Amino acid sequence: MQVELAGEPQRPGQENEDFAAASPEALVLLDGSSSPAGMESGCRHGTSWYVRRLGVHLLARLTDRSDRSIAECLADAIVETAALHGGRCDLGHPNTPAAMVVAARLHGSSLEYLVLGDSLLILHLKDGPPRVIGDNQRFPGGEELRRQVWATVPGSVERKALHLRYALAVRAARNTGRGPWIAAATPKAAAQAETGFVRLSALHAVAAVTDGASRFTDRFGLGSWSDALRLLAESGPAELIARVRAVERADAGCERWPRGKAHDDASALYARI
């Protein structure tokens, strides 16, 4: 694979809670689950620390354990990362650091893939429209709360209170069987990921985007997924993110395009097969 990647934090100077890395035969993209300011997590390390270590462990497993399925590699990486926390972190805390995951690797004559959460993998097929995989851990119980958050004024006391209610509701349900699954400290979450294989002969390329970058199509409608793939191929991931940022700046009040955050961490990766 020939890989290009780019990422930007929510705002300049802030820590980026996304993580992207690749080798010639594998790629990983993680989107850390950010928390409202002041919410306890039971962890002294933080989300950025977690996503970097989980991402590195996952990439290592993908490249050196071809005998393990891609979901098993994620489960192994979760266990290995949990061990790094040490005894001072409460890994049973509902807000323990967590991340959405996209991963793919060459496996014989196929590409093996995994997606857990609301990040996306887009297959750039040689024939037919793109195939979009992901956003597979929706939380219907929180949708009304999320709509209420979007309906409030960004930065207002009301929005902060509703955002906290939404965050608490999601965290109380995730990785319990009653809500979304996410890569945190529980390896069994890996079994809930969407996985599969696609023949390399059918692929032109593959892209991976966090939800901050998928706004190009999903939220802002700047183009179809075919348009997004064309932009990635011709101008690279940094240009896709730049176009998302331009729209975010033009709608800083989240009025034309209601959303939870005016800006979000954004990462994108494009790999030619």
Q: Label residue 134 by pLDDT band (50, 70, 90).
A: very high
**CATH number of residue 62's parent domain:** 3.60.40.10
The H or E element containing residue 233 is helix 225-235
Based on the structure, what is the number of domains in the chain? 1
Reported pTM: 0.93
Domain that holds residue 90: 2-138+180-272
Q: What is the pLDDT of residue 59?
A: 98
Residue 131 within a domain: yes
When comparing pLDDT for 59 and 165, which is higher? 59
- Flag whether 160 is in a domain: no
For residue 62, how many other CB atoms are within 10 A of its CB? 27
Q: Cβ of 139: how many Cβ atoms within 10 Å?
A: 17
d(CA 228, CA 205): 12
| pLDDT tens sequence across 145-183 | 888 888 888 888 898 888 888 888 889 899 998 889 999
Which amino acid type is present at position 30?
L
Residue 236's pLDDT band, with cuts at 50, 70 and 90, is very high
Radius of gyration of the chain from its Cα atoms, rounded to whole angstroms: 18
The tens digit of pLDDT for each residue in 10-53 reads 988 889 999 999 999 999 999 999 887 778 888 989 999 999 99
In a domain, 193, yes or no: yes
Q: What is the mean pLDDT of the chain?
A: 93
Whether residue 236 lies inside any domain: the answer is yes
Task: Compute the distance between CA of residue 108 and CA of residue 200 in angstroms, rounded to an integer.
Answer: 9
pLDDT digits (tens, 9 = 90+) for 62-111: 999 999 999 999 999 999 999 999 888 998 898 899 999 999 999 999 99
Q: Residue 12 falls within a domain, yes or no? A: yes
pLDDT category of residue 140 using cuts at 50, 70 and 90: confident
